[in-house]
Amino acid sequence: EVQLVESGGGLVQAGGSLRLSCVASGFTFDDYAIGWFRQAPGKEREGVSGISPSDGSAYYADSVKGRFTISSDNAKNTVYLQMNSLEPEDTAVYYCAAEFEHWGWGRAWYVDDEYNYWGQGTQVTVSS
């Protein structure tokens, strides 16, 4: 059974940091790309960051570049999202998702329809 389990969300003041974790199981970790998405109330889901665990290539939305860092620990089948300098606009439910990696994945890492598996989400709330 494929599972993606997120953790690490919470309430933090603006300027603070959180680290989200996404633990994957039920599939060959190196064969899949992992994306982080978020959805705020009343807004569409948007891509935040993506990584290819097989080669480490990483991608970021413009809104989080320089503040968020994605990484993977292949031995633990885990992808992390380190979020620094958090802003109230970062408040959302954060989801990790897995997509079977194919040539050109990086060009559309932010397209949620491409992802096969999703976690249940973890709430991040940033107070001003």
What tens digit of pLDDT does each residue of 66-81 get? 999 999 999 999 999 9
pLDDT (mean) for 94-122: 93
Strand partners, 6: 22
Output phi, psi for 2, to 5 deg: -75, 135
Residue 97 has pLDDT above 90, yes or no: yes
Residue 2 has pLDDT above 90, yes or no: yes
> What pLDDT is recorded for position 84?
98
pLDDT at 7 over 90: yes
Of 36, 118, 120, 23, residue with least CA distance to 83: 36
Contacts of 42 (CB under 8 A, 6+ apart): none
Identify the band that residue 86 occupies on the pLDDT scale cut at 50, 70 and 90.
very high
Mean pLDDT of 18-46: 96
Decide the pairing of beta strands 3-7 and 18-25.
antiparallel
Residue 103 binned pLDDT confidence (cut-offs 50, 70, 90)? confident
Strand-pairing partners, residue 124, are 10, 92
